[in-house]
Amino acid sequence: MNMKSELERADEMLSKEDSSQQKINKLMKKREEALLGGGEEAIKKQLAKGKLTARQRIDLLLDPGSFTETNMFVRHNNRNFGLDKKKVYTDGVITGFGQVNGKLIYVYSQDFTILGGSLGEAHAKKITQLMDQAVQNGAPVIGFNDSGGARIQEGANSLAGYGDIFIRNVRASGIIPQISCIVGPSAGGAVYSPALTDFVVMTEDTSYMFVTGPTVVKSVTGEDASFEELGGASTHSSLSGIAHLVGSDEIESIELIKALLSYLPSNNLEDPPLKDTSTINGYVLEELNSIVPSDPQEPYDMREIILRVVDRGNFLEIQKKYAQNIIIGFGRLNGHPIGIVANQPSILAGALDINASVKAARFIRFCDAFNIPIVTFVDVPGFLPGLDQEHNGIIKHGAKLIFAYAEATVPKLTVITRKAYGGAYIVMGSKHLANDMNFAWPSAEIAVMGAEGAVQILFRRELAAAENQEDLMTHLKDEYAEEFNNPYLAAEKGYIDDVILPCETRHKLIAALWPLLRKRERRLNKKHGNVPL
């Protein structure tokens, strides 16, 4: 028998320990390398631009200690243009999952310090795997976009990677909420993944999105434009409407994402999260009785009403600076999330134009997809007249809003505060589009049009022949207003469910919402409708 001496056995143990320690050390070294991204110099450059690192962004978003990283050691396998000398763990995107206020969230964060966050085959695969898991497990995806776009050295493989992401964005749409946070460049075709997601959050001064950059624009159209002018946060929040929310810095952008998530269910099969708002005090609802001015031409701020009706401090306005003639946002009624759509009489008298119609329509479709009841506040004189609006298609864009309201099966409640004229009355969450419960204030005017326009059409000849046109006009206008500019004709026909005191609005809406939370509405099966795009 070949017996090992005590000494030999001890030596063997030590060398085994050595080799397992070596393996542990090797892993720790690789982790360290991965955590360092593109290296200290590149991180310094990133921070000097006023940006955070990809990992800092994830840390700020997720509950402390909740992040599980996936595919940390993925690297590309490409040799073109010296790329084999730039093989870095993560391949320029950190992926994984964690929790935000205890709820499961999938997150990817592009790392600009590695090849400019550019997207190649391996980078794209990490994102698509994450999206597949998010859909499978029914949780939102948040993407931090900080990238030079398609990785030039990987050619068509990079483009294919974008295609693989786009198709998943579309398939996940309406199943899980998708939020894009732009925290650096997002250029070329790369902008279309954020555009396909539900919400785009941008950061002032450090983020920009455009299909073609300033140099190409200059060479093609001769126009001079800075990065900021072409696609910065202020451009996209006020002119194009691409950005739904804007943070003054990345920390604020991330806080906005968290606030947004607090109103959303994790997926389309869940109800939105209830919040205990029972301890909120300080409602002075009588103030509502005097907000609408007695002169129908006088503007007022619809936010003054919204803020008094929703649970105090629970209103997150979306696309605040874009198409300001309509207000959209999330609120809560007795703790239950709602989506709010409201005409804004202080901008364009609250008239519906192209941008307002599209803004509200997409929001309504989001709420409907994710079981969020819609509450509409109406003060609308009609669609905005003019060549510009007609030539640019107010007909098809206005139709989008009708489509969205009519298609929505979530609970739908409406409050008419003042004007509800003509086609716009029908569009703005009327009973005729299958709304569930509609209220009007005593100041409501539900009519084909305002008194002045109606009198001019109906009494054109009489006015032309009158000795004192002004007196006759005033008399006829008063008569018309008395007869038609009120809520009672519509109430008699059941087109509204009740005329209520303004100060009763909050309680009436809460009472109306309660049974509707059990609402089940089935429509005939079809592949999909044909929204007038």
Identified binder of ligand HXC from the candidate list 93, 94, 105, 115, rule CB under 6 A = 115
Rounded distance, CA 89 to CA 37, Å? 7
Q: Contact, 237 vs 301, CB < 8 A?
A: no
Exposed/middle/buried for residue 434 (C-beta within 10 Å: 0-12, 13-18, 19+): middle
Residue number, 161 or 398, with CB nearest to ligand HXC? 161
Neighbours of 323 (CB within 10 A): 22
Residue number, 242 or 404, with CB nearest to ligand HXC: 242
Q: How far apart are CA 456 and CA 299, in angstroms?
A: 23
Residue among 140, 199, 125 nearest 175 (CA): 140
**CB of residue 171 vs ligand HXC: minimum separation in angstroms?**
17
From 112-120, 198-206, 296-304, 358-366, give the range in contact with ligand HXC by CB under 6 A: 112-120
Quick one: which of 36, 143, 150 has its CA closest to 90? 36
Residue 182-211 contact track with ligand HXC, rule CB under 6 A, x = bound: ---x-xxxx---------------------
Would you say 148 or 177 has its CB closer to ligand HXC?
Answer: 148
- Cβ burial of 199 (10 Å; 0-12, 13-18, 19+) is buried
Binding residues for ligand HXC restricted to 486-525, rule: CB under 6 A: none
Strand partners, 380: 420
Taking CB under 6 A as the binding criterion, the range among 57-65, 148-156, 429-437, 483-491 that sits at the site for ligand HXC is 148-156
First-to-last CA distance in the chain?
86
Burial class (CB in 10 A: 0-12, 13-18, 19+), 341: buried
162 lines the binding site for ligand HXC (CB under 6 A) = yes
Other beta carbons within 10 Å of 235: 21
Among residues 116, 232, 272, 381, the one that binds ligand HXC under rule CB under 6 A: 116
Region from 143-151, 329-337, 349-357, 366-374 binding ligand HXC, contact rule CB under 6 A: 143-151
Tell me the two tokens of residue 425: 């009355």
- Which residue type occupies 376? T
- Mapped onto helix, strand or coil, the DSSP state of residue 256 is helix
Question: What 3-state DSSP class applies to 159?
Answer: helix
Examine residue 455 and tell whether it contacts ligand HXC (CB under 6 A).
no
Contact 330, 372 (CB under 8 A): yes
Alpha helices (H) along 302-411: 302-309, 354-369, 387-391, 394-407
| Closer Cβ to ligand HXC, 55 or 336, answer by number | 55
Residue 444, phi then psi, degrees to nearest 5: -70, 145
Minimum Å distance from CB 152 to ligand HXC? 4
Active site amino acids: 188-189, 423-424
Token reading at 122: 């391996």
Q: At its nearest, how many Å lie between ligand HXC and the CB of residue 188? A: 3
Among 151, 168, 308, 400, which residue interacts with ligand HXC (rule: CB under 6 A)?
Answer: 151
Which lies closer to ligand HXC via its Cβ, residue 90 or residue 376?
A: 90
Per CB under 6 A, 150 contacts ligand HXC: yes
* C-beta closer to ligand HXC: residue 106 or 162: 162
User: Is residue 118 part of the contact set for ligand HXC (CB under 6 A)?
Assistant: yes
User: How many binding residues for ligand HXC (CB under 6 A)?
Assistant: 15
Residue with Cβ nearer ligand HXC (118 or 267)? 118
Determine, following the binding rule CB under 6 A, whether residue 148 of this chain makes contact with ligand HXC. Answer: yes
Residues that bind ligand HXC (CB under 6 A): 115-116, 118, 148-152, 159, 162, 185, 187-190
